[in-house]
């Protein structure tokens, strides 16, 4: 853009109340703009250039984002910031920061491909043909790596889990558990002949009914999991059991995160000493081992001519590394007591499980479970159903309409571990209270559901929640799904101070939150990455406060919906929002959607050095905001609301609010104070709608543009509000993204 309102005003020295000429975009004719001192610049876009004007550009080929920024003399490189060491009072030296965070603050537009790449993993890696394929590496292994492990620890690549155990009879493989647990397999005393370990005869007898083809698959699975166990044990070689036990006592760590109320030093001690590479290698081996066994058993069982013989089969064999349980093809009630198991394999049937299935503990580093089919019910309290507590916990459910119920740290949850619940088919119901359904602290928690019209219910810290140093992902590939984080605090016991205690603090559906210790003991922990990914379907999302693409205290919350006519309802701090040095993003790829934040702080709202990015690519959408949102920045944030087209409705329940708004603070120009970091950045509240017949608050309408008065203090402070409604164009988010570290 050759000139802007600001450029022209400075060049001509014109003050308020005069008539200025402004260029509103490359190749666009001059239009008259009346500017009153201290007021924003508002104008209609000029009429289209004539067909004989060779400078006219096809609106669909122009980049609307670049042109909107140019209205205030900005380019992509003006977005974002990099903290400087001399910025007194800007929080720094925050431990457990994930590697993507600083770069996305510096390149906010890169949030779009970063988020979309996670959506692509869900849609392509976990496509039905990929999950059914026997070609290595397996689809589940690659998904857990790309969505979880690689986000937490970048030194790995998804080539292979390197599982080398051959098919082995189960009885023979089970004996290996003794040596793996540092126990002998035979003894000799008083000069007598060597005797086999106690129980060997029973193991041989118990395993005898298994057809050889099934037995060797299960034996290989045991050996592969022992391989994984060796790496999991190695991961905590420098972390004392006392420290791990203290971590296990604090599975409620999420309760004190936001206010930093109760510091637990064991978390910092373990984070300084653990061997992440070994632990994630163990997790990937566990996922691949279960998946290999799933595919092999699915191919073998129909050919076994002994399914009836397998119907009543039930093996329950204690070993030095934990219980190994094999259940037959009929439905049974399976109680794992409080001890859990090293391995559970269910060959079929409608079963009822109780206890800590698919979970590790501080003394048992692997808990794995595989259920091949059936409409199953899973019930547990703490640390269960895909929970990695200082280790690896994986539950792989291959088919059926299932119900899951648990209370604390479950259904895909990690605390210094990897927890994964992988459900491949069926219409399922997930009920979990706190800390699960894809949630993690200092670890990785994943819930991946590939098909069916599913229901997810939680009280909070769930459904894609990244607590301190954690990667929490809920990914649902197909189906018309319902996601609920219970709003009533009388049920959840989680009242939010931002809503007078009448609404729950959800922390759900794509939320990343850290431990804010600057107001208490100084032990601040950076928030992790929480992501909710839903690839298709007409979905319903409901929360109280905090979620649906929301960050807090160096955390990142991402919400990606690949299509469908969806409804997202929240009370506050939601729909691409955040507070205090964080990232919140929501990307919806299409459909006629509702984006509602009924009280305040969203959609597309940033407070206190937050980057919020909201992108709805297409559809006839409705936006409802209580007060501040739809591209609203306060306290040096970058809040972007990009609407790709359709007949849209924008509603505020508070008067005098509008999209594309900034709030000014005199501190933005206060260079003489004890801390000047607020004066060092460019903040932006940007709204762009590319087409359709839209409905706006009074005084805003289609084909309308509004920017800040270039002579105002807010403009001098590089604090910009921009509103653009135009009849066409595109958002180019595929090319290099600019920002402080980018190149246009």
- Mean pLDDT, rounded, for 272-291: 98
| Residue that wins the pLDDT comparison between 81 and 199 | 81
For position 659, what pLDDT does the model report?
98
The yes-or-no verdict on residue 182 having pLDDT over 90 is: no
pLDDT at 47 over 50: no
For 435-479, the pLDDT digits (tens) are 999 999 999 999 999 999 999 999 999 999 999 999 999 999 999
Average pLDDT, stretch 721-732? Answer: 95
**Which one is predicted more confidently, 491 or 32?**
491
Q: Pick from 476, 463, 600: which is nearest to 542 by CA?
A: 463
Sign of the torsion formed by the C-alpha atoms of 676, 677, 681 and 683: negative
Pull the structure tokens for residue 373.
């089919």
* CA–CA separation, 261 and 4 (whole Å): 49
pLDDT > 90? residue 726 = yes
Confidence of residue 29 (pLDDT cuts 50, 70, 90): very low
In this predicted structure, the answer to whether residue 242 has a pLDDT above a threshold of 80 is yes
Q: Which residue has the higher pLDDT, 54 or 421?
A: 421
The pLDDT of residue 457 is 98
Q: What is the total residue count of the chain?
A: 744
Q: Taking residues 318-341, report their average pLDDT.
A: 95
Neighbours of 233 (CB within 10 A): 17
pLDDT for the residue 42: 63
Of the candidate ranges 79-93, 187-201, 459-473, 652-666, the one whose mean pLDDT is the lowest: 187-201
Could you give the CA distance from residue 638 to residue 108 in angstroms, rounded to a whole number?
A: 8
- 3-state class (DSSP) for residue 298: helix
Predicted local confidence at residue 202, as pLDDT: 86
Region 316-331 average pLDDT: 95
**What are the tens digits of pLDDT across the range 376-385?**
999 999 999 9
**Confidence band (pLDDT; 50, 70, 90) for 401?**
very high
Confidence of residue 417 (pLDDT cuts 50, 70, 90): very high
Which of the four pLDDT bands, split at 50, 70 and 90, describes residue 59? low
* Whether pLDDT at 352 is above 90: yes
Whole-number average pLDDT of the chain: 91
What pLDDT does residue 631 have? 98
**In the predicted model, what is the mean pLDDT of residues 509-534?**
97
pLDDT digits (tens, 9 = 90+) for 298-313: 999 887 765 677 888 9
Q: Which of 463, 460, 248, 402 is nearest to 340 (CA)?
A: 248
191: buried, middle or exposed (CB in 10 Å: 19+, 13-18, 0-12)? exposed
Helix (H, G, I), strand (E, B) or coil at 15: coil
Phi/psi of residue 439, nearest 5 degrees: -145, 150
pLDDT for residue 185: 74
The pLDDT, as a whole number, for residue 309 is 76
* Three state DSSP letters for 180-203: HCCCCCEECCCCCCCEECCCHHHH
Residue 366 CA, distance from chain mean position: 24
Does residue 30 have a pLDDT over 50?
Answer: no
Kindly indicate the confidence band of residue 195, based on its pLDDT and cuts at 50, 70 and 90: confident
Say how far residue 489 (Cα) sits from the centre of its chain: 24
Per-residue pLDDT tens digits for 613-647: 999 999 999 999 999 999 999 999 999 999 999 99
Neighbouring CB atoms inside 10 A of 15's CB total: 10
Helix (H, G, I), strand (E, B) or coil at 228: helix
Q: If you average pLDDT over residues 410-432, what whole number do you get? A: 98
Which has more confidence, 31 or 83?
83
């Amino acid at each position: 853009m050759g000139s802007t309102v600001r450029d022209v005003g400075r060049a001509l020295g014109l003050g308020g109340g005069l008539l200025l000429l402004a260029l509103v975009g490359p190749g666009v004719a001059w239009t008259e703009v009346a500017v009153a001192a201290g007021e924003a610049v508002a104008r209609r876009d000029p009429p289209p250039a004539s067909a004989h004007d060779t400078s006219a550009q096809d609106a669909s080929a122009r980049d609307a984002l670049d042109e909107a920024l140019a209205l205030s003399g900005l380019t992509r490189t003006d977005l974002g910031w990099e903290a400087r060491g001399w910025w007194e009072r800007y929080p720094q030296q925050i431990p457990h920061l994930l590697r993507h965070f600083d770069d996305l603050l510096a390149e906010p537009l890169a949030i779009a491909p970063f988020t979309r790449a996670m959506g692509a993993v869900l849609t392509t890696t976990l496509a039905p043909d990929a999950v059914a394929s026997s070609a290595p590496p397996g689809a589940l292994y690659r998904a857990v790596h790309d969505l979880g492990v690689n986000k937490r620890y970048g030194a790995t690549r998804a080539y292979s889990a390197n599982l080398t155990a051959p098919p082995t009879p189960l009885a023979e493989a089970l004996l290996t558990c003794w040596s793996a647990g540092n126990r002998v397999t035979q003894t000799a005393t008083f000069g007598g002949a060597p005797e086999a370990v106690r129980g060997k005869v029973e193991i041989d007898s118990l395993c005898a009914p298994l057809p050889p083809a099934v037995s060797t698959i299960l034996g290989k699975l045991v050996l592969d999991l022992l391989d994984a166990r060796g790496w999991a044990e190695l991961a905590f070689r420098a972390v004392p059991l006392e420290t791990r036990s203290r971590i296990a006592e604090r599975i409620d760590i999420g309760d004190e995160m936001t206010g930093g109320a109760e510091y637990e030093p064991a978390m910092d001690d373990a984070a300084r000493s653990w061997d992440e590479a070994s632990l994630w290698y163990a997790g990937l081996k566990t996922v691949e081992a279960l998946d290999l066994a799933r595919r092999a058993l699915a191919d073998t069982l129909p050919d076994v001519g002994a399914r009836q013989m397998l119907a009543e089969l039930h093996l329950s064999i204690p070993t030095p590394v934990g219980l190994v349980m094999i259940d037959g093809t009929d439905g049974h009630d399976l109680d794992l007591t409080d001890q859990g198991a090293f391995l559970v394999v269910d060959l079929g049937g409608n079963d009822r499980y109780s206890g800590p299935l698919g979970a590790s503990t501080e003394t048992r580093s692997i808990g794995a479970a595989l259920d091949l089919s059936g409409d199953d019910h899973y019930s547990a309290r703490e640390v269960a159903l895909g929970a990695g507590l200082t280790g690896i916990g994986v539950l792989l459910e291959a088919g059926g309409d299932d119900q899951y119920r648990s209370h604390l740290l479950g259904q895909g949850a990690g605390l210094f571990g990897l927890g994964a619940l992988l459900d491949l088919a069926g219409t399922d119901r997930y009920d979990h209270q706190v800390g699960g359904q894809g949630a993690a602290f200092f670890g990785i928690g994943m819930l991946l559901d590939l098909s069916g019209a599913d229901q997810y219910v939680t009280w909070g810290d769930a459904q894609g929640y990244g607590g301190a140093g954690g990667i929490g992902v809920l990914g649902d590939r197909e189906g018309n799904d319902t996601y609920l984080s219970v709003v009533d605090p009388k049920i959840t016991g989680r009242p939010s101070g931002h809503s007078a205690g009448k609404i729950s603090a959800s922390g759900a559906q794509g939320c990343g939150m850290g431990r804010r210790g600057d107001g208490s003991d100084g032990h601040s922990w950076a928030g992790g990455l929480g992501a909710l990914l839903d690839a298709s379907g007409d979905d319903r999302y409901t929360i109280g406060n905090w979620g649906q693409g929301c960050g807090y205290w160096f955390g990142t919350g991402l919400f990606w919906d690949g299509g469908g006519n969806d409804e997202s309802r929240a009370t506050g701090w939601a729909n691409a929002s955040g507070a205090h040095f964080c990232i919140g993003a929501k990307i919806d790829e299409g459909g006629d959607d509702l984006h509602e934040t009924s009280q305040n702080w969203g959609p597309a709202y940033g407070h206190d050095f937050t980057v919020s990015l909201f992108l709805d690519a297409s559809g006839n959408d409705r936006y409802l905001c209580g007060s501040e949102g739809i591209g609203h920045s306060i306290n040096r944030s970058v809040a972007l609301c990009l609407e790709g087209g359709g007949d849209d409705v924008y509603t505020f329940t508070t008067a005098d609010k509008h999209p594309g708004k900034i709030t000014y603070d005199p501190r933005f120009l206060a260079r003489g104070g004890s801390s000047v970091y607020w004066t060092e950045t460019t903040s932006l509240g940007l709204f762009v709608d590319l087409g359709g017949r839209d409905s706006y608050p009074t005084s805003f309408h289609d084909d309308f543009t509004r920017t800040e008065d270039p002579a105002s203090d807010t403009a001098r402070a590089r604090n910009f509000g921009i509103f653009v409604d135009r009849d066409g164009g595109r958002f180019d988010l595929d090319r290099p993204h600019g920002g402080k570290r980018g190149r246009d």
